[in-house]
Structure 1
Amino acid sequence: MRTELVSEPGDPDRPNEDFAAVGLPASGQGGSLVVLDGVTPPVGGTGCLHSVPWYTARLGGALTELTVSLPDVPLSDALSRAITRTAAAHTRTCDLSHPRTPQATVTLARWTPDTVEYLLLADSALLVESTDGTVTPYLDERLSLIPRAERASDAVVDARFRNREGGFYTAAADPSVASRAVTGTLPRAGVRSLTALTDGAARWVEKFGEGDWARCLDVVRKEGARALVERVRALEDADRERRAYLGRSKTHDDATVVFAEL
């Protein structure tokens, strides 16, 4: 098995709010990948003493441990437990009911000799390459269904759509959100590789339209995960005013790519 992980902040002067890890059990049978994209809060309070990187590091660490150490526990249950554990770490000091309490998107995958499980919450992507070379994107598309004009306003998104029925869901402090995740199981024998991308890396496809998901994976496989991030950065630098490519709230975004060839 070959794995590759690249995670880069959008601004070198700001901490990276993404988290990424690959978990490998001592038995050598199977493994897991965890990718989180922390939600950057707007200017103003969050009700929490802690930063988004603090949250993603703790939630991501818990998920890495649980997906490996509890292989028979469904990924949704692992996410619920990880959220509960993370919330317990700051419930006495912070207002976890605040709508902007630290939170993140979640992409999980776990493989055994027989199966590949996946879980998606919000707008990161998981690319599954089959043994015949077909690339299938697994996405939680609920955020993209919100009209673009309303997505442009953080206040509107928070008030009307975030973690609400008819909207979209992110991992924050309520473990019940795990039941809202997109999940599934595939036969391991039919899977050649897995690639998880936060939306900062997926911009190459979703915002800049430089190629489809199959071409995106081709770049990662042949040139490496860092090459994809470098391509995104070049496109961002060429359009700093965000005029050519619409739908970008930031010129640069944290970008993470995890590739696992099974």
Structure 2
Amino acid sequence: MRIELASRPGTADRPNEDYLSIAVPASGLGGALVLLDGVTPPPGDDGCLHSVPWFTARLGGALGELSISRRELELPGILAAAIARTAEAHSSTCDLSHPRTPQATVVVARWDEERLEHLVLSDSALLLEAPDGEVSAVLDDRIARLPRASLASAAVADATVRNKEGGFFTAAADPAVAARAVAGQLPRTRVRALAALSDGASRWVETFKEGDWHACFALLREEGGEALIDRVRALERADAEQRLRLRRGKTHDDAAVGFVEF
């Protein structure tokens, strides 16, 4: 079995708000991959004493532990329980009803000898490779389907489309959001390998159009996640002045890639 993890902050002077881990039970049978992309709040009050990295570490740790210890729960139930546990850890000190309370996108993949379960919430990506080499992407494309004007500013996004009907959903403090995730399962024998990418890494496909998901997966298999992030960084630097692809987005975003080959 091959396992690779790669994660890098967008800039050296800010902490990495992505979270990436793989949990394996003591028996060595099965496992779970968790990837979170913390949402950077705009400047100003967010109602919380804690940082986004604090939140993603808490939520990610809970997701990994519960995915292994609570096999009887399906992944939406795991996500709901992890959100509730994380909210409880700071509900007495923070305003969790604030629209900018710490939050994150979520990817979880859990497997054993019989099946592979998957869950995606918001704009991180999960890629699944079949035994014949075909690559399919599990995506929550709600953000991509929104009119561009709806995302013109972080303040507008918080007020009108984030965690709202007709908008998109992230994991914050409400366990009910778990029901909004894109979730499913496959026989384990139908998946040869998988990869999870935060949107800072998936820019290679979605922003810079350097290749499709199949080409991205081939790059990960041949060169690894660090190489993919290196390529994204080079593309970002080349577009930093004209911003033909980056437009109003960050020049460099936190990037995380997890790869598992069975």
Task: Give me the TM-score of the superposition, normalised by structure 2.
Answer: 0.98
Q: Output the amino acid matched with 2:203.
A: R
Moved more, 95-104 or 68-77: 68-77
Q: CA deviation at 1:241?
A: 2.6
Q: Output the amino acid matched with 1:77.
A: G
Q: Output the amino acid matched with 1:192.
A: R
| CA-atom RMSD in angstroms | 0.9
Q: Does residue 102 of structure 2 align to residue 118 of structure 1?
A: no
Corresponding residue number in structure 1 for 2:128: 128
Corresponding residue number in structure 2 for 1:15: 15
SS in 1 for 2:193: strand
2-structure distance, mates of 1:241, 1:94: 39
Deviations 1:199-222 (A, max 9, x none): 000000000000000000111100
Asked whether the equivalents of residues 207 and 247 of structure 1 are also in contact (C-alpha less than 8 Å), the reply is no
Q: Does residue 99 of structure 2 align to residue 92 of structure 1?
A: no
Deviations 1:137-159 (A, max 9, x none): 11000011111222131122111
Q: CA deviation at 1:247?
A: 4.6
Q: Output the amino acid matched with 1:61.
A: G
Q: Output the amino acid matched with 1:43.
A: P
1-structure distance, mates of 2:155, 2:203: 23
5+ residue gaps, structure 2: none
Q: Output the amino acid matched with 2:39.
A: V
Spell out the pairing of 1:39-188 with structure 2 (5 A cutoff): 39-188=39-188
Corresponding residue number in structure 1 for 2:206: 206
Asked whether the equivalents of residues 240 and 246 of structure 2 are also in contact (C-alpha less than 8 Å), the reply is no
Q: Output the amino acid matched with 1:18.
A: D
SS in 2 for 1:144: coil
Q: Output the amino acid matched with 1:34.
A: V
Asked whether the equivalents of residues 242 and 248 of structure 1 are also in contact (C-alpha less than 8 Å), the reply is no
2-structure distance, mates of 1:148, 1:237: 24
Q: Output the amino acid matched with 1:74.
A: E
2-structure distance, mates of 1:126, 1:148: 24
Deviations 1:114-143 (A, max 9, x none): 111000100000000000000001100001
Q: Output the amino acid matched with 1:30.
A: G
Asked whether the equivalents of residues 105 and 171 of structure 1 are also in contact (C-alpha less than 8 Å), the reply is yes
Spell out the pairing of 1:215-230 with structure 2 (5 A cutoff): 215-230=215-230
Asked whether the equivalents of residues 239 and 246 of structure 2 are also in contact (C-alpha less than 8 Å), the reply is no
Identity over aligned pairs, percent: 62
Q: Output the amino acid matched with 1:49.
A: L
Asked whether the equivalents of residues 35 and 60 of structure 2 are also in contact (C-alpha less than 8 Å), the reply is yes
SS in 1 for 2:109: strand
Q: Output the amino acid matched with 1:204.
A: W
Asked whether the equivalents of residues 207 and 248 of structure 1 are also in contact (C-alpha less than 8 Å), the reply is no
1-structure distance, mates of 2:152, 2:235: 21
2-structure distance, mates of 1:146, 1:177: 18
Change (3 A) 1:124 1:248: farther
SS in 2 for 1:89: helix
The total of aligned residue pairs comes to 262
Task: Give me the TM-score of the superposition, normalised by structure 1.
Answer: 0.98
Deviations 1:157-179 (A, max 9, x none): 11111111111100000111111
SS in 1 for 2:235: helix
Deviations 1:2-46 (A, max 9, x none): 100001000111000000000111111111100000000001110
